Amino acid sequence: MKDWAAFYDSPHSIYVNARHRDLHYGRLADDIARHVATPTAAVLDYGCGEALYADRVANAAGRLVLAEAGPSVRSKLIKRFAGNPRITVVSTDRVGHMPANAFDLVVMHSVSQYLTAEEFDRIVALFYRLIKPGGLLIVGDVIPPRVPIIADAVALLRYGWADGFFLAAVGGLIRTFFSEYAQLRTRIGLTRYTEQEMRRN
């Protein structure tokens, strides 16, 4: 694996089983939908991943653009939502060519940690061009400095215990420890931000 984009575009064990994956994407879709201000709103989900329940967001909005870097994941999204006229799937590169003031809501969840600080600055500047006056930008799952990797493991185990996949979470942590994810985290690392740094962006 060369980078994070290639990793997430290939089979991986970040989600320990189907229940974990479904709960993650279902709750994320519901959270995004709650921030859709009007039923005619245009929404951009940048770095959307598998977005299994993007139709929930689309049902709350007038238009939803799913932007994904990975060609394999993007192909699956196109097939999954082919029958939904409210959903458009594009590459993240194409977002840079979209017109100004195109969106009421822009969401980037669990992406900032995989970008360099310079890449993140460029993307945030792009978002400010794309968002309509009075629109909303949501950046989620930002990792603060000095959070040890054990904190991620504990959070997953608590999640699994509360939602019925604890044993799968234990097995998933073991697989991840020996996976390319661990190698990439050691070699490339994750970009972290304080709250003050995020506010300056």
- Mind listing the pLDDT tens digit of every residue in the chain (201 residues)? 358 888 899 888 789 999 999 999 999 999 999 999 999 999 999 999 999 999 999 999 999 999 999 999 999 999 999 999 999 999 999 999 999 999 999 999 999 999 999 999 999 999 999 999 999 999 999 989 888 888 888 999 999 999 999 999 999 889 888 888 888 888 888 999 988 888 776
Phi, psi of 121 (to 5 degrees): -60, -40
179 in a structural domain? no
> What gap in Å lies between CA 118 and CA 138, rounded to an integer?
19
Extract the tokens encoding 24.
């993650």
Domain extent for 129? 4-144+190-200
* CATH number for the domain harbouring residue 24: 3.40.50.150
155 in a structural domain? no
Distances (CA, A) of 155 to 41, 158, 173, 175, 177: 34, 5, 11, 16, 15
102 in a structural domain? yes
3-state secondary structure of 13: coil
> Residue 118: is it exposed, middle or buried by C-beta count within 10 angstroms (0-12/13-18/19+)?
exposed
- Sign (positive or negative) of CA dihedral 79, 101, 116, 148: negative
178 in a structural domain? no
177 in a structural domain? no
> What gap in Å lies between CA 130 and CA 105, rounded to an integer?
9
38 in a structural domain? yes
3-state secondary structure of 169: helix
pTM score, two decimals?
0.91
97 in a structural domain? yes
> What gap in Å lies between CA 50 and CA 70, rounded to an integer?
10
Q: How many domains does the chain have?
A: 1
pLDDT computed for residue 1 by the predictor: 38
106 in a structural domain? yes
